[in-house]
Amino acid sequence: MSRPLEGLRVIEFGTFVSAPYCGKLFAGHGAEVIKVEPPGGDIARAHGPFPRGEPDPEASALFLYLNTGKKSVVLDPREPADRDRLLRLIATADVLVENYRPADLAALGLDYATLAERNPRLVMVSITPFGQQGPYANYLGNNLIAFAMGGQMYITGTFEGGPLKNGGYQADYQGGLNAFSAAMLAVLAAERDGLGQHVDISIQRCMAPILEASIPYYCYLGQWSGIRRGNHMASFIGIYPCADGHIGIHLMPRNWKPFLEVIGRPDLGEDPRFATQADRVAHNDELMAELYAWAATETKHDLYRRAGAGRAPIAFVHTMADLVESPQLNARGFLQHIDHPVAGEAVYPGPPWWMGPGDWDAGRAPLLGEHDAEVLGRLPA
């Protein structure tokens, strides 16, 4: 059968990570996604890693991954003729995904009011660091700034080392995923009511409430202990170096016994210092010393398999090589080999969830302007 978003036309007027990730999820599920790139292309094309380390706008791993299944057209919205084409293109669309600063988009005459006048069914999705309104709406932002202002950075890393963002472009991905979910809600409403709307995604607002219990405890009880704890929330929730990498344990009270069996230390179960979770908290540093000494003797694959069989929540820190070789991910068909005319074949993860056979088809990323003739050649007046 056809994919769930067949028949939906999406224009992606966005750069780098957040809007492209949102657009990628639309494309993979069957929407026609037309990516509008400026002359020279999305800035992600300038970002590596590149095959053989040689920069090539058609071989950026970042671009290749984030733009699977899309069509590419080149338009310069500062040029009146191109701006007119862009407006005519958006008039044909069900969804517009963009991630420009509100003031910059308005300066191009691409505000929602103007677009909705021509296309009242349009769902416009804007992904910005701070949202469309409010005192910081036009402040400049990016992944690092969102990490700071979204509160996730203050609690990551060690106290001494200072606030730390986690790897890659996580704030931008958060924005892209939030935008996709919100956009899909607006698509359902538009198909029901015949009316679109301007969906406003503030990355800061998406990030701030999800710091585990931090916001609930502070708002309700006035309690806050959000210090950076490095790799250990406690001795029994954290990451330890092992002989050939790093392992992670996350032990709830009921996991204590199965854990000790897996690691071959039933004696710790007899130790009154570690009898209950409260005891383990009270003797945190002593337990941590035991666990550091134990973990150093383990190898990650062997331990992980034993933990799986023994139902103990132990994982290991997967490197990219571990992911590509993962028995689990490969058995499930989660890693797909996709060819590209310039970059060649590479391994791509996906889909993010499974709905049924044929419901996801990533496709490959487009060459810059590859679909100019097909898309722009038959634009309605």
Partner 1 sequence: MSQPLQGVRIVDLTMVWAGPMGTRLLGDYGAEVIKVESPRQWDLLRALGLIPRDVPRWYNRSAYFNHNNRNKYAVSLDLAHPLGRETVLQLCAVSDVLVENYRSDVMDNLGLDYETVRSVNPRIIYVSMPGHGKTGPEKDYVAYGSNVEQLAGLVSISGYEDGEPMKTGFSYGDPMAATALVGAVALALRKRRLTGEGCYVELAQRENLTMFVGEHIVGYSLTGELPRPMGNRHPHHAPHNVYRCAGEDRWVAIACETDDQFRALCAVIRRHDLAGDPRFATAAARKANERDLDPEIEAWTLQRGHHEAMHLLQRAGVPAGAVLTTPELVADPHLRATGAWVEHTHPDAGTWEMEAPPWVLPRTPGHIRLHAPGFAEHNDWVFRDLLGLDDARIAALYAAGVAADTPDESLHR
The answer to whether 43 touches 15, Cβ cutoff 8 Å, is yes
| Binding residue for partner 1, selected from 41, 152, 260, 298, defined by CB under 8 A | 152
Q: Answer left, alpha or beta for residue 375, where phi above 0 means left and psi between -120 and 50 means alpha.
A: alpha
Identify which of residues 155 and 367 has a Cβ nearer to partner 1 in the complex: 155
Q: Is 48 in the site for partner 1 (CB under 8 A)?
A: yes
Identify which of residues 66 and 268 has a Cβ nearer to partner 1 in the complex: 66
Site residues for partner 1, 173-212, by CB under 8 A, read 173-174, 177-178, 180-182, 184-189, 191-193, 195-202, 204-206, 208-212
| Binding residue for partner 1, selected from 80, 81, 135, 194, defined by CB under 8 A | 135
State the minimum distance, in angstroms, from the CB of residue 178 to partner 1. Answer: 6
The answer to whether 146 touches 139, Cβ cutoff 8 Å, is no
The answer to whether 39 touches 52, Cβ cutoff 8 Å, is no
Identify which of residues 230 and 369 has a Cβ nearer to partner 1 in the complex: 230
The strand pair at 123-128 and 197-202 is best described as parallel
How many angstroms separate the CA atoms of 225 and 46, rounded?
41
Cα Rg of the chain, angstroms: 24
Identify which of residues 320 and 381 has a Cβ nearer to partner 1 in the complex: 320
Binding mask 270-309 for partner 1 (x = CB under 8 A): ----------------------------------x--xx-
**Six token digits for residue 314:** 């132990």
The answer for residues whose C-beta is within 8 angstroms of residue 162's C-beta and 6 or more apart is none
Phi, psi torsion values for 96, nearest 5 degrees: -120, 125
Tell me, yes or no, if 271 is annotated catalytic.
no
| Binding residue for partner 1, selected from 104, 118, 144, 374, defined by CB under 8 A | 144
Site residues for partner 1, 241-270, by CB under 8 A, read 241, 246, 248, 250, 252, 255
Residues with a catalytic annotation lie at 172
